[in-house]
Amino acid sequence: MLRLSTHEGTRISLAENLNAHYGGGEANVAISLANYGHEVAFASKVPANGLGEAVKRHLGRFGVDTRQLLVGGPRLGTYYMEAGVGERAASVIYDRAGSSFATMTDLEWDLPSLFAGVDILHLSGITAALSKEWQRLLLDLMKAAKEAEVKVSFDVNYRGLLWTQAEAGAFLKKALPYVDYCSAGNMDALYLLKVPAYEGQGTPQDELIYYYQQMQELFPNIQLFYSTKRQVKSASDNILTGTLYVDGEYYESPSHHINPIVDRVGGGDAFSGGVLHGLLSQKAPQELIDFATAASALKHTVHGDCNQFSATEVERFISAGSGKIIR
Amino acid sequence: MLRLSTHEGTRISLAENLNAHYGGGEANVAISLANYGHEVAFASKVPANGLGEAVKRHLGRFGVDTRQLLVGGPRLGTYYMEAGVGERAASVIYDRAGSSFATMTDLEWDLPSLFAGVDILHLSGITAALSKEWQRLLLDLMKAAKEAEVKVSFDVNYRGLLWTQAEAGAFLKKALPYVDYCSAGNMDALYLLKVPAYEGQGTPQDELIYYYQQMQELFPNIQLFYSTKRQVKSASDNILTGTLYVDGEYYESPSHHINPIVDRVGGGDAFSGGVLHGLLSQKAPQELIDFATAASALKHTVHGDCNQFSATEVERFISAGSGKIIR
Amino acid sequence: MLRLSTHEGTRISLAENLNAHYGGGEANVAISLANYGHEVAFASKVPANGLGEAVKRHLGRFGVDTRQLLVGGPRLGTYYMEAGVGERAASVIYDRAGSSFATMTDLEWDLPSLFAGVDILHLSGITAALSKEWQRLLLDLMKAAKEAEVKVSFDVNYRGLLWTQAEAGAFLKKALPYVDYCSAGNMDALYLLKVPAYEGQGTPQDELIYYYQQMQELFPNIQLFYSTKRQVKSASDNILTGTLYVDGEYYESPSHHINPIVDRVGGGDAFSGGVLHGLLSQKAPQELIDFATAASALKHTVHGDCNQFSATEVERFISAGSGKIIR
Amino acid sequence: MLRLSTHEGTRISLAENLNAHYGGGEANVAISLANYGHEVAFASKVPANGLGEAVKRHLGRFGVDTRQLLVGGPRLGTYYMEAGVGERAASVIYDRAGSSFATMTDLEWDLPSLFAGVDILHLSGITAALSKEWQRLLLDLMKAAKEAEVKVSFDVNYRGLLWTQAEAGAFLKKALPYVDYCSAGNMDALYLLKVPAYEGQGTPQDELIYYYQQMQELFPNIQLFYSTKRQVKSASDNILTGTLYVDGEYYESPSHHINPIVDRVGGGDAFSGGVLHGLLSQKAPQELIDFATAASALKHTVHGDCNQFSATEVERFISAGSGKIIR
Amino acid sequence: MLRLSTHEGTRISLAENLNAHYGGGEANVAISLANYGHEVAFASKVPANGLGEAVKRHLGRFGVDTRQLLVGGPRLGTYYMEAGVGERAASVIYDRAGSSFATMTDLEWDLPSLFAGVDILHLSGITAALSKEWQRLLLDLMKAAKEAEVKVSFDVNYRGLLWTQAEAGAFLKKALPYVDYCSAGNMDALYLLKVPAYEGQGTPQDELIYYYQQMQELFPNIQLFYSTKRQVKSASDNILTGTLYVDGEYYESPSHHINPIVDRVGGGDAFSGGVLHGLLSQKAPQELIDFATAASALKHTVHGDCNQFSATEVERFISAGSGKIIR
Amino acid sequence: MLRLSTHEGTRISLAENLNAHYGGGEANVAISLANYGHEVAFASKVPANGLGEAVKRHLGRFGVDTRQLLVGGPRLGTYYMEAGVGERAASVIYDRAGSSFATMTDLEWDLPSLFAGVDILHLSGITAALSKEWQRLLLDLMKAAKEAEVKVSFDVNYRGLLWTQAEAGAFLKKALPYVDYCSAGNMDALYLLKVPAYEGQGTPQDELIYYYQQMQELFPNIQLFYSTKRQVKSASDNILTGTLYVDGEYYESPSHHINPIVDRVGGGDAFSGGVLHGLLSQKAPQELIDFATAASALKHTVHGDCNQFSATEVERFISAGSGKIIR
């Protein structure tokens, strides 16, 4: 997807110049993993024009394999973002209908070659929201992955502007039984999966653990749940904490105070990328969640949708104090 | 329409930043006429978002009345332009399918109020190329205009990427009987209107006069034909001459050597705007064509789709020599 | 007026590039009201050159009627602003002497047509500070407005660099009897109108109410007083609260924490624009002051002198929490 | 003076951003000479604000001594320039009335210290055009210079927008008897000094020599006349030739084809700076005029009012062919 | 290598901002070939910092395999370029001493894996100019390539600032016997290889053929010679023609008039890239030289060191006329 | 030195554009003092190219005398800085090896003329870290200064990436006996000068006083010690306090809350510049430390390495509240 965004402090209706960033949830996760040294391929579909070429170049710039990137179809999905600042939130104009990817009706890849040598397949709930076809295709992909002994990672990523809670819930019921690693939080549990509302008197942490437990009971196949808690003080100032639920245990990262936020987009994907990196490199849970949250915090300090830091840089960021130069 | 264009010397697939310009043939003509001091209203349809708002603000900036600008529908038509330079031509990626305007199926304006006090209605062949519906709606508009005693101006503006010569020709045969002022050249006559090919031994000027005469015979209702001759030495270097055919007489402007070309888009619309200004201000034919061609040449020296010069500035440009500062 | 301002972090004495913004108190209020859907005309005088043209285009961009904008005179008033950041305040170099507007000596408009169909005339104390002539002309305008049954809105807007407290006080004594809606705060009451200093032991709010009451007693004709309380933590970080005094009652908006401040200029004008919109749309006092303060807070998040938000956007901003994206 | 200029291809009435350049004829000559290794001081008057400070920093950047730069008075003279391109000439809005320099009524310098150790005093006719006072002050300066055995250099620099030919002629008659080196061309001779029109049948060169001879007869005290011939093909494309008249002999430089012109402003001052450098370094006439013309041609290739090349760079430019890289 | 270049019209000594481009002869050729769809790997050495990372990302962006890019050593070679324009040539400040690549003393690659599956090894004479060690290493590389049945392509690329003609000639005598495809022109033949000067009366083409023949006789192993003829009218305006000598036959492309030149750097590498593409895709000689020259002409129209066009785009450029838009 | 830095939010490995700033500790101090009205000369060595020229122009822009700036040697020292923001610290890539200054082996200045009329010589510990030669040369310079009755100011400025604590300590033991004014803090005392660790139970202020006392005992010749306390909340948010130890008394400035930090580089040099200004203008200790700290705080609000404020501006900043505009 192409994001066309204004410079901070300029309204879209007055902008004479827009920044062009390429991204999308799965692409951002792919780039994170490539930055951490993993071999990653990205499978999607882009049009046969300069914008499709730009997507390929963006991924190649970070070392993501693009041989499974299909070329064809009518257009590249785009959206316009008026950057938020202070009390004023960012605002978004979606223009993604009819994209080459959204209008796919078949899995155009050769699945055996797609899954050859692959450890993890990462998918997002936004894709399911694109069309009924994509809900079907996603399930097909998940099943094929399981058959090929590929782990399935899934980010619920619910967007209320794209589908209803009921639609999303119905899809999730069908999809989650195939999922191994799942990004989902208490809102997803309550509103999409319809688990009973927490009625305890506990802390917010108790409440979150409750929802993780409920989801775990519904989907015992899922080996790991994760999500972030984000306290939005303003569009420029957030406090971010990562949480993880694995083997019946709850883990929480230190909180990151992110101010100013340079670019909010992709913060969740950087978090998912960090979690998958932790899995692939067999980090202990606390280390995993600390890494993933730090990676997400770093993402907020750079322009663009994707994490641009190596594993070494993330680790050095964790060990250094906030904002101190070494020289 | 929104045009997203690269900076000179940057490919679209590598661009991190795009210039946003709003335009479209009829809007450009409207702005030209407003700059020349005429009261002009622009009727189209834009979505209810920041991009639609941007169109309204763009027109208002030049004094065009936007009360007939409908708001609604799915999206704003866009296109991407990789700026050309030297031998390398500009290249265009259209992304205008499904726009709020293209998907109109009814004339949503109140036609009596639309035409109240109006002298000239200006339309473009590009609109006809958008859909069968728009071919029908254009004819309805033309007929309503004639009934309201409004003159009809029409720019053939044939774009081979949008429809075939046969389709365009069929539409023109139906439309041109309602037209008073027509922008059409020898290519339009030969390939769309299928007039017999010139077989004389004359000059290029003789040939052009022949085609004007042929079109005049086919459509005696048309009071004035006009078109430009453009010698493309490179994307940065053109020689432009305006031509006019009225009352059986042919007129030609001095040639303008345009180098460098700052922005090629809208050169034809600036020419049409100059012709309509000449009609509204009752200029003599030679003066009219000189003015219109100079206005078009000036347009090539500024960024953006529209002419940004007043009538006084165009006239001063004609009388001053090329490139001399007065100080 | 033209404001030429540096980019954040650059001193004016080193700047190689300046941002050009057009504005001025009354123009900013006019644009606010046009954005809220009201029909607004702006009457001033600008020179017959590209800078005067720029003013006209700036206003037209937001839908303000410029038919009463006179063209002529020596120059456009300008000022240079070195943007402030953090502890360092903005600094200003005025260069407005001898402007086309400041050197007017007669009301060059046809007053009956100027006031035809007008509900409110909005004026600013800065105009009175320009010249003795303008003090006289302002009184003439106010009287003519009252005769034409046009309400008079007046923003005291005291600038110590332009005239003394004694001069301003003398003018205000003559002008305020013609005013219906007045932007004035406790400093204006104490130093310009010389009301006795508050000697109570109450809260800052009690003190402000006292001054409003005193001003109301002096000018019983004024139907509404308003002003903001601004806590300046730094040039980048302010807390803003709006206050209103109407029918003997005091109202106060929630406080907005504005950080970072993108552009401080025009914050007060956006507040006045919001108040006048509340009056024109007959909002209840609490709703009115909440709207006006939110509009002012939003203004601080965009570059340029004028509010650029519609009434719907301001209202959505009030109902959404700080900084949350909807997607 | 501050020049605020648009980016190429943007009209001043639509510009959101202006480039700030400092300059003025005498300052530009001073900088040229400092670049060539001479000790140069600049005497003028600027306001006590950031813009005055900017002038001082601009001169200091090139090594010009600013201890004789007076600080005070109302404002810095400014002008706005819409950059020209191709057939469209640059256009200028002057805003220099009331500047600190223009409103001087006395020579505020200590003349003995001003002239101590000075070889050449360079003055411009533009200063004389500012006010009657400045005409008087210039004559005073010239006389004082002659008494202090300082050579006087004078650039006629006639600007029709600032004073009439008659006024300029009257002043020149009084001033030129004090001048040693004079930049004046055939137009100056004919229209300002009213020498009889050339009636020969010769080449343009013959004509120019005639006018030089006539001026020499009128002012035998002048040791050297110089001027450029500029063929303006467009605002982007000029052919420039330098001419010199000394000891009854005429010299002409090779022609420079300047395309594109990056910035036209200061081309004449760079030429004067080159001539004075030739005098100070006792170059032979042909070498002098070749150097001065090359310096002027180079100036056209950089942004800003002043020549930014060292003597070595100008000489290397003369000996290298056009546009060839050495690497 | 990192190139830090000024914006057109700004001197390096005054620049506040520099463009960063990554390149180098072999890297540019590699990118050309990747753009044409070939599998290409790039072997060099960059430091373990953000600049080394940037090189990797630059190559990955265009699909070049960077697994043979060594990481380590002291620094990245850089150079500063003041962009040329019009008569003023670009000027260069080299700062490449002590780079990670220049200070290599061993071939740190595993040569069998380096050459596995490789068709052509492309090398440049600039590398030989870096150090005596690199002259030795280059010969080692060439020999190893020949043993591995890899063709050797060599671009003489003589830079007088880096080594003497005698040094270069001595190296060439040792190296050229291992070369299959060689970029070398008449200057290289005359001054480096010391072939007897042409004494015929023929055309420049006759002269060039003579030198090709002489070189062919000296090195019968070379299957193909190529070079460009460049007529430098100015830094902005060149005429470029490609020439080829193969199997005793001379071929010449049509001439390209390149004006304006957006970025001159890498024009020769784009030409070499086109020649190698022609060889790999077995184009006939005339088609090969036409393609390579067109690719080089296109390169001049974009910023950056490398060709950014696909084979299809180059071919479409050849068949379309200069500067014509298709729409 | 040339600093090439990214725009906020862009990684160096992805940057297409870098800001060029010139600086270095001693140069920054020199510029501060020139801004405060002192006569200052800067002695260093730069290469004979455009970058060396840029250094000279940078210093001249602020009125620093550059006649003692030597020209020659291989290159200008550079470093790359990825700007920090929020929790992410700035990161630096040094590229200063082999610079014209670092490779000096003799004091190439004429020392008598270097010290003629000089009050204070300011040196930095970074110079000592460059080479063994420079350690020797610095001692020679200090001795020569003492002989010429020039006071010696020295900023310890320890950089762990350049030399070890042991090396620095050994040098300091030799150098500090020649020093009159010394910037050194508790870390320098403890780790470099190896004073016994504080073991009291006092406040941080008590601890700092202890270290100052210890250093004073070691070097009774030093008349004044100073350093800052900096609380790094993030790369964008610091709290800065200045401290001074003179005549056995400790002084501390008010704390400055700096948020956002526009540019952190040169904050310490602006502090030193303020201290030296206080000494030269014989400020009382409290006034001196308040001034120096305010100057440093102001420096953080502008781009570039050097303080850009006059003494008047610093004083006005101290007396005004944070962030309030006067207008």
Angle at F275 between CA F274 and CA F279, to 5 degrees: 115
- State how far the Cα of E90 lies from the Cα of E106, in Å rounded to an integer: 35
Nearest CB among A61, A257, A321 relative to F232 is that of: A321
User: Strands, DSSP E only, in chain F?
Assistant: 2-5, 17-22, 44-46, 69-71, 78-82, 91-95, 120-124, 151-155, 181-183, 224-234, 237-246, 249-252, 256-258
Asked if the Cβ–Cβ distance from E61 to A63 is below 8 Å, we say: no
Give the number of beta-carbon pairs within 8 Å between A and C.
80
- State how far the Cα of A317 lies from the Cα of A298, in Å rounded to an integer: 8
Residue given tokens 């202020």 in the structure block: F205
How many other CB atoms are found less than 10 A from the CB of residue D180? 18
Mutation to test the E interface, candidates F11, F49, F61, F303, most E Cβ within 10 Å: F49
Structure tokens at E271: 């030409």
Asked if the Cβ–Cβ distance from B161 to E260 is below 8 Å, we say: no
Output the average pLDDT for chain D. Answer: 96
Give the residue-averaged pLDDT of F241-254. 98
pLDDT value of position F291: 98
- How far apart are the CA of F54 and the nearest CA of chain D, in angstroms? 9
Contact D183, D157 (CB under 8 A): yes
CATH class of the domain whose range is B25-42+104-319: alpha beta
How many other CB atoms are found less than 10 A from the CB of residue F249? 11
- How far apart are the CA of B59 and the nearest CA of chain C, in angstroms? 7
| Touching partners of C (3+ C-beta pairs < 8 Å) | A, B, D, F
Asked if the Cβ–Cβ distance from D161 to B256 is below 8 Å, we say: no
**Per-residue DSSP letter, C190:** I
Nearest CB among E60, E62, E63 relative to A62 is that of: E60
Output the average pLDDT for chain C. Answer: 96
Q: Judge whether residue E324 has pLDDT over 90.
A: no
Q: What is the pLDDT of residues B241-279, one digit of tens each?
A: 999 999 999 999 999 999 999 999 999 999 999 999 999
> Facing residues of A245 across strands?
A225, A250
In E, which residues are within 8 Å of A50 by CB distance? none
D34 phi and psi angles, rounded to 5 deg: -65, -40
Q: What is the pLDDT of residues D304-322, one digit of tens each?
A: 999 999 999 999 999 987 7
- State how far the Cα of A57 lies from the Cα of E33, in Å rounded to an integer: 15
ipTM value of the model? 0.95
Contact B40, B64 (CB under 8 A): yes
Full DSSP string of B280-292 = HTT--HHHHHHHH
Mutation to test the D interface, candidates C1, C11, C13, C161, most D Cβ within 10 Å: C13
Asked if the Cβ–Cβ distance from A260 to C257 is below 8 Å, we say: no
- State how far the Cα of B242 lies from the Cα of B288, in Å rounded to an integer: 10
Residue partners of F206: CB distance under 8 A and separation at least 6: F200
Contact B243, B292 (CB under 8 A): no
Q: Judge whether residue D323 has pLDDT over 90.
A: no
First to last CA, chain A: 39
Give the residue-averaged pLDDT of D44-60. 98
pLDDT in tens, chain C (327 residues): 999 999 999 999 999 999 999 999 999 999 999 999 999 999 999 999 999 999 999 999 999 999 999 999 999 999 999 999 999 999 999 999 999 999 999 999 999 999 999 999 999 999 999 999 999 999 999 999 999 999 999 999 999 888 999 999 999 999 999 999 999 999 999 999 999 999 999 999 999 999 999 999 999 999 999 999 999 999 999 999 999 999 999 999 999 999 999 999 999 999 999 999 999 999 999 999 999 999 999 999 999 999 999 999 999 999 987 777 666
Contact B270, B323 (CB under 8 A): no
Q: Judge whether residue B60 has pLDDT over 90.
A: yes
Asked if the Cβ–Cβ distance from E232 to D261 is below 8 Å, we say: no
Asked if the Cβ–Cβ distance from D11 to B302 is below 8 Å, we say: yes
Q: What is the pLDDT of residues F292-303, one digit of tens each?
A: 999 999 999 999
Structure tokens at D227: 């001027």
- State how far the Cα of C154 lies from the Cα of C176, in Å rounded to an integer: 8
Asked if the Cβ–Cβ distance from F92 to A327 is below 8 Å, we say: yes
Contact E14, E40 (CB under 8 A): no
- pLDDT tier at D258, thresholds 50, 70, 90: very high
Output the average pLDDT for chain A. Answer: 96
Q: What is the pLDDT of residues D166-222, one digit of tens each?
A: 999 999 999 999 999 999 999 999 999 999 999 999 999 999 999 999 999 999 999
Q: What is the pLDDT of residues A238-295, one digit of tens each?
A: 999 999 999 999 999 999 999 999 999 999 999 999 999 999 999 999 999 999 999 9
Give the residue-averaged pLDDT of B72-97. 96
Q: Which residue of E has its CA nearest to F96?
A: E75
Q: Judge whether residue E326 has pLDDT over 70.
A: no
Peptide bond connecting B260 to the previous residue in cis, omega within 30 degrees of 0: yes
In D, which residues are within 8 Å of F311 by CB distance? none
Q: Judge whether residue D326 has pLDDT over 70.
A: no
- How far apart are the CA of B85 and the nearest CA of chain E, in angstroms? 6
Residue partners of D158: CB distance under 8 A and separation at least 6: D125, D165, D168, D187, D188, D191, D192
Contact D71, D45 (CB under 8 A): yes
Mutation to test the B interface, candidates D234, D259, D264, D265, most B Cβ within 10 Å: D234
Asked if the Cβ–Cβ distance from F324 to C161 is below 8 Å, we say: no
Nearest CB among D15, D19, D51 relative to C80 is that of: D51
Residue partners of D286: CB distance under 8 A and separation at least 6: D251
Q: Which residue of C has its CA nearest to F300?
A: C9
- How far apart are the CA of B16 and the nearest CA of chain A, in angstroms? 5
Q: Judge whether residue E321 has pLDDT over 90.
A: no
pLDDT value of position C170: 98
Residue given tokens 């002489």 in the structure block: E214
> Facing residues of B288 across strands?
none
CATH class of the domain whose range is D1-103+223-320: alpha beta
> Per residue, what are the HEC states of chain E?
CEEEECCCCCCHHHCCEEEEEECCHHHHHHHHHHHCCCCCECCEEECCCHHHHHHHHHHHHCCCECCCEEECCCCCCEEEEECCECCECCEEEEECCCCCCCCCCCCCCCHHHHHCCCCEEEEEHHHHHHCHHHHHHHHHHHHHHHHCCCEEEEECCCCCCCCCHHHHHHHHHHHHHHCCEEECCHHHHHHHCCCCCCCCCCCHHHHHHHHHHHHHHHCCCCCEEEEEEEEEEECCEEEEEEEEEECCEEEECCCEEECCCCCCCCHHHHHHHHHHHHHHCCCCHHHHHHHHHHHHHHHCCCCCCCCCCCHHHHHHHHHCCCCCCCC
Q: Judge whether residue B327 has pLDDT over 70.
A: no
Cβ-based burial of D218 (10 A; exposed 0-12, middle 13-18, buried ≥19): middle
Mapping DSSP to helix (H, G, I), strand (E, B) and coil, where does residue B46 land? Answer: strand
Nearest CB among F57, F62, F63 relative to D62 is that of: F57
Output the average pLDDT for chain E. Answer: 96
Asked if the Cβ–Cβ distance from E95 to F75 is below 8 Å, we say: yes
Mutation to test the F interface, candidates A31, A302, A312, A318, most F Cβ within 10 Å: A302
Contact A297, A318 (CB under 8 A): no
Mutation to test the C interface, candidates B39, B49, B57, B64, most C Cβ within 10 Å: B57
Q: What CATH architecture does domain D104-211 belong to?
A: 3-Layer(aba) Sandwich (3.40)
Asked if the Cβ–Cβ distance from B9 to E262 is below 8 Å, we say: yes
pLDDT value of position D321: 76
Full DSSP string of B16-32 = SEEEEEE--HHHHHHHH
pLDDT value of position A323: 81
Q: Which residue of E has its CA nearest to A57?
A: E61
pLDDT value of position C326: 65
Asked if the Cβ–Cβ distance from D12 to C51 is below 8 Å, we say: yes
Q: Give the DSSP H or E segment for D22.
A: strand D17-22
- State how far the Cα of E29 lies from the Cα of E296, in Å rounded to an integer: 11
Contact B81, B28 (CB under 8 A): no
Domain ranges of chain D: 1-103+223-320, 104-211
Residue partners of B276: CB distance under 8 A and separation at least 6: B29, B32, B33, B120, B122, B153, B181
In B, which residues are within 8 Å of E263 by CB distance? 9
- State how far the Cα of C236 lies from the Cα of C84, in Å rounded to an integer: 8
Asked if the Cβ–Cβ distance from D256 to E89 is below 8 Å, we say: no
Asked if the Cβ–Cβ distance from D327 to E9 is below 8 Å, we say: no
Nearest CB among D86, D160, D233 relative to B301 is that of: D86
- State how far the Cα of F174 lies from the Cα of F162, in Å rounded to an integer: 19
- State how far the Cα of A143 lies from the Cα of A107, in Å rounded to an integer: 13
Full DSSP string of C116-152 = TT-SEEEEEHHHHHH-HHHHHHHHHHHHHHHHTT-EE
> Per residue, what are the HEC states of B228-270?
EEEEEEECCEEEEEEEEEECCEEEECCCEEECCCCCCCCHHHH
Q: Which residue of F has its CA nearest to A317?
A: F88
